[in-house]
A and B are shown apart, each in its own frame.
Chain A
Amino acid sequence: MVQKIYELKIKNNNRAGSDLYIMDLETPDGIFSKPGQFISVLIPHKTLRRPISIMENTGSTIRILYKVRGEGTNYLAGLNAGNYVNFAGVFGNFFKIGEKNLLVGAGVGLAPVYYLKKELEKIGRDAKLIAGFKTKTEVPRELSPFIDYMSTDDGSFGEKGSVIDLAEKYIKEFMPDNICICGPVIVMEKISEAAAQERIQCQVSMESMMGCSVGACRGCVIKINDSGVIRNAAVCKEGPVFDALKVFGGKSHA
């Protein structure tokens, strides 16, 4: 699919839970994407585009989930239905799928695995979605019906405790042949260790500050262990989805 710059009209832009927002963008001509891929949003008067994972693509709407963290996401949160957003994309690789898929999202990291769950359901593959949040108010309520197991750190919603423990429990119970995770590095690292112990294929979606989004500037690279060779990989082009062993197997992810 050819990458392009789009000016898309906002259909909805609503707070989904404390600092998480969901934005729906109209794509009348349809834009092809796969779970794991991202778009780069232009913020007026800022130099760097913001890479944001696609949370759903219905054919006529692209949905993104974002967390308000700084100037860029603050700007996005202030936009209304009818406003336009400039985005470039679609960029990056996508998740490989298995027969029995365990999907784990922590916080805003829910976006790409939620998308994957929806796509897997369409083709009738077995998929369980686990999500972890800090507390009840952070949980994006409109997404919770699609989440199979949920935890909050303080137990105010779903099970009490870390999403890491919840994932470890369901790895044993569900015995998937494929695990996909997106969230903070520590969450991805711990769960991928559990996956490695059970010898289950595990993929992680990495985040990085990006310059060009097309693999040209080498600003977003991480170190990966590629069959024993430690080398740089551009998150924007070779990723954002990586085989967890390549990222954490070498114990040097950054």
Chain B
Amino acid sequence: MPDMSVKKGKLRLKNPIMTASGTYGYNIEYEDFTNPEILGGIVTKAITLEPREGNFWQRIIETECGMINSIGLENLGITRFLKEKLPVLLARGICFVVNIAGSSIDEYINLAQKCEENGIKMIELNVSCPNVRHGCLEFGVDEKILSRLVNSVRDVFSGCLIVKLTPNVTSIELLGTSCQKAGADALSAINTLKGTGIKLRLENGKFKKEIVTGGYSGQGIKPAALNAVMRLKKAIDIPIIGIGGIYSFNDVLEFFAAGADAVQIGTANFTHPDIAGKLVSELYDFMSNNGFKTLDELKGALRNE
């Protein structure tokens, strides 16, 4: 029986197949399609100090090989999350990571403190949401500010601290390095690429336009994500969680080959709501059939020149 668990420092996952923030709700939204208890970890929708309404209509649009979203961090706020959603995660024994987003360093600290007080074992700092006017992405593009943020959160949070990086920078390895120095336990990469989707339709002599600017996700971003993971792998020693356009088991292997220790499935959950669970089974079968006893064995084989 292969051991699929991930144990890298404080990063502890049932297996390396996780679901990405913003695509999987807070806990059991997809349970008719995939039993959340078998997943490596669910990353919650980004949670802020106060509830947020998010952006106005129109929030999503389909593009070639993916989609653009401009949800704008709509969420129920940390208080309601702790009261309504956390108990379900705990009662069901679901492995989970709480994704937090703030408009200031103080807000991140406050959120991380609340997670610490409530026994939450893993958090992911969202410093890469391209869809809100203040905060978030501002923290993810400047290594000095990011370093200060990670340091401050590190002081109040003893669990696994993951930082989710944006690809919308010149040099992702600089940001990764500062996170590692500031005490991050793992990195996840990448968040969405800044993009615009336009749909035109001529109706009764007039153009009907749909335009959505926001984060581009889906199959089209996989090459950018693999590139980010490879560059980070060369620059840092902490574990990397690969995210971006994963739609098949082969994609998962590609991310392992690039240097990822785990992966998050995002937009693919919309296309195939049962995909995350299927990938767990496929990984299990693949390891069993090919004699890989641990993930490290499999990754070692993939990374051998």
- By a beta-carbon cutoff of 8 Å, the part of chain A in contact with chain B is 2-5, 42, 46-49, 69-70, 88, 209-222, 231-232, 254
B125 to nearest A CB, angstroms? 21
Distance between Cα atoms of A213 and B66 in the complex (Å): 16
Residues from chain A with a CB closer than 8 A to the CB of B159 are none
Contact B57 A254 (CB under 8 A): yes
- B99 proximal to A (CB < 8 A): no
Residues from chain A with a CB closer than 8 A to the CB of B22 are 217
**What 1/0 mask marks residues of chain B from 17 to 53 whose CB sits below 8 Å from any chain A CB?**
0000011110001101100000000000100000001
Contact B74 A47 (CB under 8 A): no
Q: Is the interface of B mostly helix, strand, loop or mixed?
A: loop
Known: A48-B62, A211-B67, A221-B54. Is A216-B271 also a contact (CB below 8 A)? no
- B59 proximal to A (CB < 8 A): yes
Contact B271 A47 (CB under 8 A): yes
Contact B23 A212 (CB under 8 A): yes
Residues from chain B with a CB closer than 8 A to the CB of A232 are 53-54, 74
Residue of A42, A46, A49, A70 most packed against chain B (CB within 10 A): A46
A210 to nearest B CB, angstroms? 8
Contact A212 B61 (CB under 8 A): no
Residues of B within 8 Å of A, CB-based: how many? 36
Distance between Cα atoms of A41 and B195 in the complex (Å): 26
Known: A47-B218, A47-B267, A216-B29. Is A209-B273 also a contact (CB below 8 A)? no
Contact B59 A221 (CB under 8 A): yes
Distance between Cα atoms of A209 and B25 in the complex (Å): 18
- B138 proximal to A (CB < 8 A): no
The closest CB in chain B to the CB of A215 belongs to B29
- B251 proximal to A (CB < 8 A): no
Distance between Cα atoms of A29 and B94 in the complex (Å): 32
Cross-interface CB contact of A216 among B30, B56, B59, B67, cutoff 8 Å = B30
Distance between Cα atoms of A4 and B33 in the complex (Å): 6
The closest CB in chain B to the CB of A217 belongs to B23
Residues from chain B with a CB closer than 8 A to the CB of A210 are 60
Distance between Cα atoms of A66 and B89 in the complex (Å): 39
- B65 proximal to A (CB < 8 A): yes
